[in-house]
Amino acid sequence: MTLLRRHLAALFAAPALIPAARAQEAFPSRPLRFIVPVSAGGSADAQARRVAQRLQERWGQPVVVENRPGANGIVAVQAFLQAPPDGHTVFATPSGPIAINPSLYRNLPYDPFRDFSFASLISVIPLVLAVHPSVPANTAPELAALTRSRGAAFAFANAGVGTPSHLSIAMFRAMANAGEVTSVPFGGSAPALTSLVAGQTLAMFDAAVSIAPFIRDGRLKGIGVAHSERLALLPDLPTLIEQGVPNFLSATWMSLCTHAATPRERTARLAAEVDAVLREPATRELLTSQGAFVRGGTPEEFAAFARAEAEKWGRLVRETGASVDG
């Protein structure tokens, strides 16, 4: 081959190398964003910030946590899906936008099983059932019997229509043979707990990290944990399963998702790094202190878990008739 022909061959071959080079570009190559669909200060936000901090330290790239509360997570999802699908914008979300919204909204502007790539399940956060101290019941069977006698006069607070806090009431009625109670929705966990502590409502399911302080100081009375294991946060509180309510499992969870169009190897790398963070004793201790069970694992395991959760909560949405579309 002549020198001229070699130059021409190199000239025409060079552009073909550019896409390959871009495909193998280091990840992450710039700061990351964690978009969180809840306000700052709660358990979900705290877990997102812990993982973001450790990824920043491991990767040497800033990881910015951006809180976008509103519309049961839809505001945050829309911001997330509008970002470039290159893995540098991550949806750090509890269960609602993935497992509940598809059944709760008739015209949801996204489909998590089409639009998301499931990266990492960070933790599972069981709900705890508690009552006002004036309620003459100390166990799940006693509470169920009391609701059958009082009916609609017995009011459960919940953190909002379609939340696990709300749908767990329907689960309790079905699985513990409770009565036709009144379910009172609030705009979040904090106002619902305020109502319960004041005795304006009588019972509530809520995440352990939120409700445990009120149980420990006597302002509320714990009835049971909606999980298969007791919590380190409330070690003396039995599970509802221990009290004869079989298979009563109700929890929210915290997770990370990328855009469905994100290169698979980037989602896999994010998952592997998060899994390593979740194996650290300090991280495990922090999450356990918040009433969570640390998970981790592969994207495939998380995707299977998310589908099972969506099916479970979807059934409860249909049973309760819960809807925010009017």
Buried b (16+ CB within 10 A) or exposed e, 226-256: bbeebbebbeebebbbbbebeebbbbbbbbb
Q: Kindly calculate the radius of gyration of the chain based on its CA atoms and give it in whole angstroms.
A: 23
Q: Is residue 245 a part of any domain in this protein?
A: no
Q: Is residue 136 a part of any domain in this protein?
A: yes
Cα three-residue angle 317-202-243, rounded to 5 degrees = 75
DSSP letter at 27 equals S
Q: Which amino acid is at 33?
A: R
Confidence grade of residue 325 (pLDDT, cut at 50, 70, 90): low
Task: Name the domain boundary from 225, 259, 294.
Answer: 225
Q: Is residue 26 a part of any domain in this protein?
A: no
Residues 107 and 166 in one domain: no
Residues 133 and 219 in one domain: yes
> Average pLDDT over the chain, rounded to whole?
91
Residues 40 and 109 in one domain: yes
Residues 120 and 257 in one domain: yes
Q: Which of these ranges, 15-24, 43-52, 237-246, has the smallest mean pLDDT?
A: 15-24
The distance in angstroms from the start CA to the end CA of the chain is: 75
Q: Is residue 273 a part of any domain in this protein?
A: yes
Task: Name the domain boundary from 181, 207, 225.
Answer: 225
Q: What is the DSSP string of 66-83?
A: EE---GGGHHHHHHHHHS
Q: What's the pLDDT at 178?
A: 96
| Percentage with pLDDT > 70 across the chain | 92
Buried b (16+ CB within 10 A) or exposed e, 147-169: beebeeebbbbbbbbbbbbbbbb
For 293, other C-beta atoms within 10 Å of its C-beta total: 18
Confidence grade of residue 317 (pLDDT, cut at 50, 70, 90): confident
Residues 131 and 119 in one domain: no
For 214, other C-beta atoms within 10 Å of its C-beta total: 18
Q: Is residue 326 a part of any domain in this protein?
A: no
Residues 96 and 135 in one domain: no
The number of angstroms, rounded, from the C-alpha of 254 to the middle of its chain's C-alpha atoms is 4
Q: How confident is the model over 166-181, as pLDDT tens digits?
A: 999 999 999 999 999 9
Q: Is residue 239 a part of any domain in this protein?
A: no
CATH (domain of 155): 3.40.190.10
Residues 140 and 174 in one domain: yes
Q: Is residue 244 a part of any domain in this protein?
A: no
Contact of 78 with 93, CB cutoff 8 Å: no
Residues 120 and 256 in one domain: yes
Q: What's the pLDDT at 138?
A: 98
Record the pTM: 0.86
CATH (domain of 299): 3.40.190.150
Contact of 190 with 43, CB cutoff 8 Å: no
Q: Is residue 140 a part of any domain in this protein?
A: yes
Q: How confident is the model over 188-240, as pLDDT tens digits?
A: 889 999 999 999 999 999 999 899 999 999 999 999 999 999 999 999 999 99
| Percentage with pLDDT > 90 across the chain | 80
If one counts the domains in the chain, the total is: 2
User: How buried is residue 127: exposed, middle or buried, by Cβ count under 10 Å (0-12/13-18/19+)?
Assistant: buried
Residues 137 and 219 in one domain: yes
For residue 207, give its domain range.
126-225
> In 3D, which of 214, 187, 209 has the Cα closest to residue 199?
214
Residues 114 and 141 in one domain: no
Half-sphere exposure of 16 (CA within 13 A, CB side): 5
Residues 186 and 205 in one domain: yes
Q: Which of these ranges, 52-61, 291-300, 310-319, has the smallest mean pLDDT?
A: 310-319
Q: What is the mean pLDDT of residues 145-149?
A: 98
**Residue 280 CB contacts under 8 Å (≥ 6 apart), including other chains:** 54
Residues 95 and 131 in one domain: no
For 310, other C-beta atoms within 10 Å of its C-beta total: 19
